[in-house]
A and B are shown apart, each in its own frame.
Chain A
């Protein structure tokens, strides 16, 4: 009887974990490994697949569109990271209070999160185009003689997309902060208040350390989504990447190269790997900063 139990102990975990392991191996691990392999080939949907060494990576280094896309991603990251790390925290502090009607504001702030990114981007496209609401208001107020090129100027288009990302992300990160704020011991606030700490000092020395784990998680999530942005730029530029394709993101480039009968899967895979490495960088940096701060 004892022997049988021991035997069961040996295979039972594998039996339980087996389906998940197989699933991960087939749908996560193998595609990842396959992407690495393909990045060293001239693979196409039909044909190709011959080893080409570092050709795809050499080409990427001299690809002007990739450089533009990387610049866009870095600007996206630099603007989105502070805004989406701090604004949702302030919002969470506001709506955390138990006031009459506060549920309405919580719901209102969260509503953009529920909406589809593509639908929201389409609506923003109508709002920002030459004959859209914003240009109409600017014209009516006499603030602009000509429509502002929100969707056709390289930088205005990029910042319009950033604005959309920030607006849509506020509610999501606010909810994470709300949950983190719930875990900050009220006694600490009370003790600090008794010691004469002002609201700002309490925020700095009690609230911030209390939500720091959530803040780090949010920073990582923002970094990743900023570097991998797609929907906002794609929809606002109508899939064109803006004049000269200068508003393309790296993911848009990957999509452009990998699609269709003649897609260059090898090069698209190399771009995917580069994006992966670039994405991991800020995350490791944030993790290191967090360890230091801790």
Chain B
């Protein structure tokens, strides 16, 4: 009797606990209305909210300066600045969108913006502010145009790209010239083999598995033009994956690359275990904090193939009650002057055309961090968004799983890619 009472209690508790947490809010929650037909007309005044992503406390003074200047320029305007922590930002934006509380101006990378655009929650700024296009570089503006959706849904704010970073000490130790680092995949694999042989397998050059960006660089079409299906299961993608399979089989990559996420590559580089990584233009600065003795030994070179373009932008909520002020604020924060000032505080690059001739970005101060910044800036001209914005975290997880399975040799490259495409298309269709 006593036991069965315990069991009943446990059953009840588990029943509740299993179901709780799966409980979900109103699926039809909507935050915006009729966003597409905006117009910039109207007086710039009143209250407006601006949401940024993880800028406090490092850039508090900068943002307050930008906002104060805006309020000074437009008397009667009051900007409420919200800054959200780095972790869980997508969930925060999602809850705001579902609850109809999206701030008037909100920092959204393109992959966050697309689902909101599909729900008509963001303003088409191309329609509302047609003159805006001439101020920004095409790559930045293009990031906020989506297949199957008319319009442009954000002001590009700041840009970044990837640069190759090499541990010069390790390269030299194993007979490679840090001044002439590998520039193609074949050269990279050859160099990785040299490092492996000369270090008796104690050091790796390569430590990341291929992904969508590598397929794009190999000329593989990742998605259909309408953005509704993935198409990366091509013979070219399988051939690239086979090349990596061979390298993995030969022990040129650490085994745990199979379960490492992208950051694992940079982590191993920071610990001095691998001799190559890719990262943004400010990597050496952050490396100096994590591993001060390694930072001076690092040299940079341009990314292999087409450099990836990473874009941050400001979008305007379709539900804003102060459209003119919201548009003016988004444009103010992203103007050339404010972006240039921001870029002097950290290694990001302005998305405005006026900044292209700014010597600050194109001339190195002679340090390796300065060289990397210039390498990144000069790469931006040819950079483009290599991964489709439809590839969200869940989709990337599925792709990574299948690539890892192919690398491990438990399935063929073609089969892994076919499975990945089938599963990803199902997820897109949902």
- A residues with a Cβ closer than 8 A to B are 27-28, 30-32, 34-35, 38, 41-49, 65, 129-131, 147, 149, 151-152, 157, 212-213, 216-217, 220-221, 224, 228, 237-246, 254, 256-269, 272-273, 275-276, 279-280, 283-284, 286-287, 290-291, 294
Known contacts A42-B430, A217-B6, A290-B4: A30-B259 contact under CB 8 Å: no
Residues of B within 8 A of A245 (CB): 397-398, 401-402
Contact with B27, one of A48, A237, A256 (Cβ below 8 angstroms)? A48
Contact A241 B397 (CB under 8 A): yes
Contact A32 B90 (CB under 8 A): no
Q: What's the nearest-Cβ distance from chain B to residue A71, in Å?
A: 16
Contact B261 A240 (CB under 8 A): yes
Chain B positions 388 through 430: 1 when the CB is less than 8 Å from some CB of chain A, otherwise 0: 0000111001101110110110110000100000010001001
Contact A242 B259 (CB under 8 A): yes
Q: What's the nearest-Cβ distance from chain B to residue A261, in Å?
A: 4
Contact with B19, one of A217, A256, A272 (Cβ below 8 angstroms)? A272
16 residue pairs bridging A and B, Cβ less than 8 Å apart: A32-B22, A41-B27, A46-B97, A47-B118, A220-B6, A238-B260, A239-B261, A240-B258, A240-B400, A242-B404, A243-B404, A260-B94, A263-B394, A267-B430, A268-B22, A290-B7
Residues of A within 8 A of B416 (CB): 244
A261, B121: Cα distance in complex, Å: 13
Residues of B within 8 A of A294 (CB): 1, 3-4
Residues of B within 8 A of A287 (CB): 4, 7-8, 11
A130, B22: Cα distance in complex, Å: 36
Extra contacts, 15 of them, besides A152-B408, A294-B4 (Cβ < 8 A), are A31-B23, A32-B19, A47-B28, A152-B259, A217-B3, A217-B10, A241-B401, A242-B259, A243-B401, A243-B404, A245-B398, A259-B91, A260-B394, A276-B15, A286-B7
A188, B389: Cα distance in complex, Å: 71
**What interface size band does chain B fall in?**
35 or more
- A-B contacts, CB under 8 A, total: 203
Contact A152 B256 (CB under 8 A): yes
Residues of B within 8 A of A213 (CB): 2-3, 6
Q: What's the nearest-Cβ distance from chain A to residue B275, in Å?
A: 16
Q: Is B338 an interface residue (CB 8 A)?
A: no
- B residues with a Cβ closer than 8 A to A are 1-4, 6-8, 10-11, 14-16, 18-24, 26-30, 90-91, 93-94, 97-98, 112, 114-116, 118-119, 121, 254-256, 258-261, 264, 273, 392-394, 397-398, 400-402, 404-405, 407-408, 410-411, 416, 423, 427, 430
Contact B27 A265 (CB under 8 A): yes
Q: What's the nearest-Cβ distance from chain B to residue A23, in Å?
A: 12
Q: What's the nearest-Cβ distance from chain A to residue B121, in Å?
A: 8
A272, B408: Cα distance in complex, Å: 31
Residues of B within 8 A of A284 (CB): 11
Contact B14 A280 (CB under 8 A): yes
Contact with A43, one of B7, B27, B402 (Cβ below 8 angstroms)? B27
Contact A152 B258 (CB under 8 A): yes
A239, B264: Cα distance in complex, Å: 12
Contact with A244, one of B2, B116, B410 (Cβ below 8 angstroms)? B410
A38, B405: Cα distance in complex, Å: 33
Contact with A216, one of B6, B112, B408 (Cβ below 8 angstroms)? B6
